[in-house]
Chains A and B, each alone.
Chain A
């Protein structure tokens, strides 16, 4: 008990806990809409595509300024999304293949750049590789502030657009028919996903942040048939996954944060799959008796 008390008494860890809680919450809520829009894989591509952006900015400016790196991440994420849509529109390639190509090309390029940085720059590169799997322990106060403010902003925006997202995902044709700017709403949702990726990249890493978008809402779907409740539950599940992942990885040296968060989220998903009150396997089995 003392150990745990000590752990939470440190100012830094409390901040990390708070940030990861909010980040998980924001990604769960936004993920609910992404999941229903069947864009889970696109969000994964956006996350992977953030890596080359980080590396390019570092190579050009040779300083580890987090805001600059994140601007780089945003730019390559958006380029990746645009490339996917261009490929689908102008070729016979289907969306799954297009996403597959873009994920591997951008991530592969990112790894090459990262290797280049590690071999060529003078010791200052420390920390960049934590962008791959995330490292909560390496975060400084300003990083956490960015995550906290960013997450709150994302949650507020999603709440504002709740009704508009709902109709444009459920029935885009009807929404367009009554004069709603569906394309604009799609763009807003995409921007929110980029937002989660960019603020979460240091803590969760590019490889696994999409799982934090997808898994909590997937688990929530097993407990409710209402979109509002699904988003709230996904936010709660995301917050639990985020916080427990961050704490576990801080307690044990060299344990990356992203994988721990994803394992927590997966455990919640597994329990929901089995015992969920709406579609859970146990419930179905009981009904069949």
Chain B
């Protein structure tokens, strides 16, 4: 079954097309890397699928149901830079936010929810930082708090927006471990990703995007020099060495 299917999605900003004609279907249990040059609309794609941005047209289904009926199945890790880390709260509180749609309006988090949030922090190696003020965490630790929050959501389809950007090795490992765990549990993961060198190691599916999907499918089929050139145009030159060598290994 398809976990996610997007049909004819189009987004404009100031009357300029940012995304057009986006249609693709993601099989359940897959790990998809969304890659493409700067300004290709990768983050915009995630945000418009999640209806965080107004779209011109398009239809999004999750497990063959309209997106708006399936919000509880969706987990989301936004870019770290999109929130104010000076906000007066601690790591555990942020993770608990992942449970807000389950807790319900006007109610406080129960002990069970708090325990679950602590477990999630523990899974990303952040148990010792539960009561730490979020402004006092390093960039990588902040990213892991976001991961724990996504984990706390206990979703079926996860969207992550550049989780690997600017993080330390420990956080990178935590993200990879988490993605593998999710895959093992049959969850579907879509990740906006920048680093072409690691695409083949991390993802079993790739969406090559440049305002419109260039190609979508299994990594070994889609992630070829030819397709990359189509997506990146002339900007591919500096990548050729790494990509070519990794293809040579195969």
Give the interface of A toward B (CB within 8 A). Answer: 36, 160-161, 163-164, 166-167, 169-171, 173-180, 221, 224-227, 230
A226-B106 in contact (CB<8A): no
B52-A226 in contact (CB<8A): no
Given known A173-B47, A179-B72, contact A167–B100 (CB-CB < 8 A): yes
Residue in B71, B74, B88, B106 whose Cβ sees the most chain A Cβ within 10 Å: B88
Given known A178-B100, A225-B133, A227-B88, contact A171–B106 (CB-CB < 8 A): no
A174-B108 in contact (CB<8A): no
Given known A176-B51, A177-B50, A177-B74, contact A171–B97 (CB-CB < 8 A): yes
Cβ-based interface call for B203 (8 A): no
Which listed residue (A164, A166, A178, A180) contacts B89, Cβ 8 A?
A166
Nearest to A226 among chain B residues (CB) is B88
Known pairs A160-B106, A170-B83, A171-B78 / 16 extra A-B pairs, C-beta < 8 Å: A36-B84, A36-B87, A163-B108, A169-B87, A171-B82, A173-B52, A177-B52, A177-B76, A177-B78, A178-B98, A179-B71, A180-B101, A221-B88, A225-B135, A227-B93, A230-B88
Per the bound structure, the CA–CA distance linking A36 and B87 in Å amounts to 7
Chain B interface residue count, Cβ-Cβ cutoff 8 angstroms: 31
Per the bound structure, the CA–CA distance linking A166 and B82 in Å amounts to 15
A257 to chain B, nearest CB (A): 30
Please name 5 pairs of A and B residues whose Cβ atoms are closer than 8 Å in the assembled complex, sorted by A: A164-B105, A170-B87, A173-B76, A179-B71, A180-B100
Chain B residue contacts of A36, Cβ below 8 A: 84, 87-88
Chain B residue contacts of A164, Cβ below 8 A: 100, 105-106
B101-A225 in contact (CB<8A): no
Nearest to A161 among chain B residues (CB) is B106
DSSP majority for the A interface? helix
Nearest to B85 among chain A residues (CB) is A170
Given known A176-B51, A177-B74, contact A167–B97 (CB-CB < 8 A): yes
A163-B83 in contact (CB<8A): no
B100-A170 in contact (CB<8A): no
Which listed residue (A160, A174, A230) contacts B97, Cβ 8 A?
A174
Chain B residue contacts of A174, Cβ below 8 A: 76, 78, 97, 149
Nearest to B105 among chain A residues (CB) is A164
Given known A174-B97, A178-B100, contact A226–B84 (CB-CB < 8 A): no
Give the interface of B toward A (CB within 8 A). Answer: 47, 50-52, 71-72, 74, 76, 78, 82-84, 87-90, 93-94, 97-98, 100-101, 103, 105-108, 133, 135, 149, 153
B131 to chain A, nearest CB (A): 10
A142 to chain B, nearest CB (A): 32
Per the bound structure, the CA–CA distance linking A178 and B104 in Å amounts to 12
A176-B50 in contact (CB<8A): yes
Chain A residue contacts of B106, Cβ below 8 A: 160-161, 163-164
A155 to chain B, nearest CB (A): 15
A144 to chain B, nearest CB (A): 30
B89-A227 in contact (CB<8A): yes
Per the bound structure, the CA–CA distance linking A176 and B108 in Å amounts to 19
Given known A174-B76, A221-B88, A224-B88, contact A179–B97 (CB-CB < 8 A): no
Per the bound structure, the CA–CA distance linking A36 and B86 in Å amounts to 9
Given known A163-B108, A170-B83, contact A176–B52 (CB-CB < 8 A): yes
A275 to chain B, nearest CB (A): 19
Per the bound structure, the CA–CA distance linking A175 and B100 in Å amounts to 9
Per the bound structure, the CA–CA distance linking A161 and B84 in Å amounts to 20
Given known A164-B105, A170-B84, A177-B76, contact A226–B90 (CB-CB < 8 A): yes
Chain A residue contacts of B71, Cβ below 8 A: 177-179
